């Protein structure tokens, strides 16, 4: 799914497959869970882990490091079973990303209709946030295009 460069309002969901004899269409689709995971992974690699990103948004750097530090500082007060001072189910794996195990969430289920609420959230809220973030990076002075690419997902 991408936007038509001529129109900011319309998403392009399909294109003609020029390699098919009958010019069938190829359909694009994305699911919210994978877009969120990609965003999370970009943040996790911003100044941490692989250090392949230096994300920046609204005048401030974005880093995974404070999340790791907060977890380490408070892990004695966090119980994986939801007890302790903080009643959250936060585990080591949530902060120190180990992608071997994943739970299936309701957001992973296939889309059945174009009116699915997940698509509305994706098109309006999440894509809108990413558009604003990208704009703030592109308007940042004193950085090359290559440096700006590392400041955005």
Place of tokens 């609204």: 58
Looking at residue 143, what is its pLDDT?
92
List the pLDDT tens digit at each of the 153 positions of the chain.
445 556 555 666 778 888 888 888 887 766 777 888 888 889 989 988 888 899 998 889 999 888 888 878 877 665 555 455 555 555 666 666 654 544 445 666 777 777 887 788 888 888 888 899 999 999 999 999 999 988 888
CA distance 78 to 49: 23
Looking at residue 11, what is its pLDDT?
63
Looking at residue 97, what is its pLDDT?
64
Select from 141, 134, 142 the least CA-distant residue to 58.
Answer: 134
Helices (H), the chain: 32-44, 65-74, 92-95, 117-121, 127-138, 145-149
Structure tokens at 77: 């007060």
**Within 10 Å of residue 95's Cβ, how many Cβ atoms?**
17
State the sign of the Cα–Cα–Cα–Cα dihedral 55, 58, 64, 66.
positive
């Amino acid at each position: 799914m991408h936007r038509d460069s001529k129109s900011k309002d319309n998403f392009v969901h399909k294109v003609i497959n020029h390699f098919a004899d009958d010019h069938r269409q190829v359909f694009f689709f994305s699911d919210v869970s994978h877009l969120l995971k990609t965003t999370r992974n970009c943040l996790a690699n911003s100044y941490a882990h692989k250090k392949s990103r230096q994300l920046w948004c609204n005048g401030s750097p974005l880093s995974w490091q404070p999340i790791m530090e907060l977890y380490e500082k408070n892990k004695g007060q966090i119980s994986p079973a939801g007890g302790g001072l903080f009643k959250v189910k936060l585990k080591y794996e949530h902060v120190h990303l180990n992608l071997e195990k994943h739970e299936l969430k309701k957001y992973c289920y296939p889309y059945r209709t174009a009116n699915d609420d997940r698509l509305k959230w994706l098109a309006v809220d999440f894509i809108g946030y990413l558009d604003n973030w990208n704009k703030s990076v592109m308007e940042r002075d004193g950085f090359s295009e290559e440096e700006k690419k590392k400041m955005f997902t």
